[in-house]
């Protein structure tokens, strides 16, 4: 990697030294190291990652850094994203360190979810304290690993918990409606499919099937409510029908009782003896009676 357009002369001079004296150009891997920290523990496709890189020198001479960047495995091998410091090089003293400004890296949406490799590349020069001509070098860090996730993965856990609770409640409801039970089975199947997708880091598909499962549960609840309402209406109709039958039967019974009473003959009253006439003295003359008989 070379960004030292302003140091062509120094590089050419260093090349001549190498050819004529056999000097080794560059810094050995163990003569420098880097630490890198990301602003987020979860880096997602389609988002911007923010990193802070600290360079640590184990070199015996001061180092001037003209360019620092990162090569990710989704990039060409000679392509870097980073900071061009050629107009304002960073000087690191021997056995010193320096933390560079925050760097922003665009993470493509087209890359796969999972582990990705990257390394830090640095272009610079070094020279002795006596004002000798600088020697250009390029240094690459060891290969590092970065986990890239799908941005939808952030919303998956919350949706998963929500749908799991809804599914448990629905399963414990013991639906009476056959249609509701069929929809519940569809919800369980979609839920299982979502879990399978999530286990393969396919969170977009997993979220889609969680949403489908949630929709089936909502439909099942609606079917159950409609079923209960229908049964309640039928029970009310049956109750009214029974009450009506009882009322009609009561009216009929009363009607027949009235008819029966109307046509029933009254009982004859018993003959009464006029005791008062028997107790009165008979003033009739026997002779008059005999005259009548004659």
**87-119 confidence digits (pLDDT tens):** 999 999 999 999 999 999 999 988 988 899 999
- How far is Cα of residue 254 from the mean position of the Cα atoms in its chain? 68
Q: Rounded to the nearest 5 degrees, what angle is found at the Cα of 279, between the Cα atoms of 274 and 280?
A: 100
Decide: pTM greater than 0.85.
Answer: no
- The reported pLDDT for the residue numbered 123 is 95
Closest CA to 156 of 114, 109, 210, 196: 210
pLDDT-derived band of residue 272, with 50, 70 and 90 as boundaries? low
Number of Cβ within 10 Å of residue 175's Cβ equals: 19
Question: Quick check: 1 and 67 in contact, CB under 8 A?
Answer: yes
pLDDT above 50: residue 22: no
pLDDT-derived band of residue 267, with 50, 70 and 90 as boundaries? low
Cα–Cα distance measured from residue 79 to residue 73, given in angstroms and rounded to the nearest whole number: 10
Cα–Cα distance measured from residue 66 to residue 91, given in angstroms and rounded to the nearest whole number: 9
pLDDT above 60: residue 240: yes
pLDDT-derived band of residue 17, with 50, 70 and 90 as boundaries? very low
In the chain, where does DSSP find H-type helix? Answer: 8-21, 156-171, 178-199, 203-263, 275-279, 286-293
- The reported pLDDT for the residue numbered 77 is 87
pLDDT above 70: residue 266: no
pLDDT above 80: residue 274: no
Residues 163-182: pLDDT tens digits?
Answer: 999 999 999 988 999 999 99
- The reported pLDDT for the residue numbered 236 is 64
Report the percent of the chain where pLDDT is more than 90.
47
Per DSSP, 101 falls in state P
Mean pLDDT of 255-275: 64
Please identify which residue in the block is written with the tokens 């009548």.
292
pLDDT-derived band of residue 261, with 50, 70 and 90 as boundaries? confident
- The reported pLDDT for the residue numbered 268 is 56
Q: What is the DSSP string of 145-189?
A: EEEEE-GGGGTHHHHHHHHHHHHHHHHTT----HHHHHHHHHHHH
Question: Quick check: 190 and 232 in contact, CB under 8 A?
Answer: no
Closest CA to 127 of 23, 35, 21: 23
Rounded to the nearest 10°, the torsion over CA 8, 10, 13, 18 is -110
pLDDT above 70: residue 80: yes
H or E segment to which residue 91 belongs: strand 90-92
Residues 201-215: pLDDT tens digits?
Answer: 788 889 999 999 999
Cα–Cα distance measured from residue 81 to residue 72, given in angstroms and rounded to the nearest whole number: 9
Q: Given CATH 3.40.50.300, say whether it is the number of domain 5-11+18-149.
A: no
Q: Where are the domains of the chain?
A: 5-11+18-149, 153-250
């Amino acid at each position: 990697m070379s960004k030292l357009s302003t140091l062509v002369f120094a590089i050419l001079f260093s090349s001549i030294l190498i050819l004529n004296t056999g000097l080794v150009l560059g810094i050995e891997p163990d003569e420098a190291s880097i630490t890198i920290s990301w602003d987020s523990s979860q880096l997602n496709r389609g988002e911007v990652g923010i990193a802070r890189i600290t360079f640590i020198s184990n070199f015996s001479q001061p180092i001037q850094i003209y360019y620092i960047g990162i090569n990710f495995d989704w990039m060409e091998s000679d392509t870097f994203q980073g900071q061009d410091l050629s107009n304002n090089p960073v000087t690191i003293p021997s056995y010193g360190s320096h933390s560079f400004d925050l760097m922003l890296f665009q993470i493509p949406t087209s890359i796969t979810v999972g582990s990705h490799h990257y390394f830090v590349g640095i272009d610079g020069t070094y020279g002795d304290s006596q004002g000798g001509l600088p020697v250009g070098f390029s240094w690459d860090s060891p290969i590092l690993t970065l986990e890239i996730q799908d941005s939808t993965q952030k919303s998956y856990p919350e949706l998963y918990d929500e749908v799991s609770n809804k599914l448990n409640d629905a399963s414990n409801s013991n639906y009476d409606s056959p249609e509701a039970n069929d929809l519940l089975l569809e919800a369980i199947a979609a839920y299982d499919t979502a879990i399978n997708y999530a286990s393969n880091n396919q969170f977009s598909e997993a979220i889609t099937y969680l949403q489908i499962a949630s929709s089936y549960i909502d439909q099942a609840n609606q079917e159950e409510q409609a079923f209960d309402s229908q049964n309640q209406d039928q029970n009310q109709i049956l109750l009214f029908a029974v009450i009506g039958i009882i009322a009609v039967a009561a009216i009929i019974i009363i009607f027949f009782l009235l008819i029966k009473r109307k046509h029933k003959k009254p009982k004859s009253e018993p003959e009464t003896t006029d005791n008062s006439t028997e107790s009165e003295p008979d003033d009739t003359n026997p002779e008059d009676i005999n005259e009548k008989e004659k």
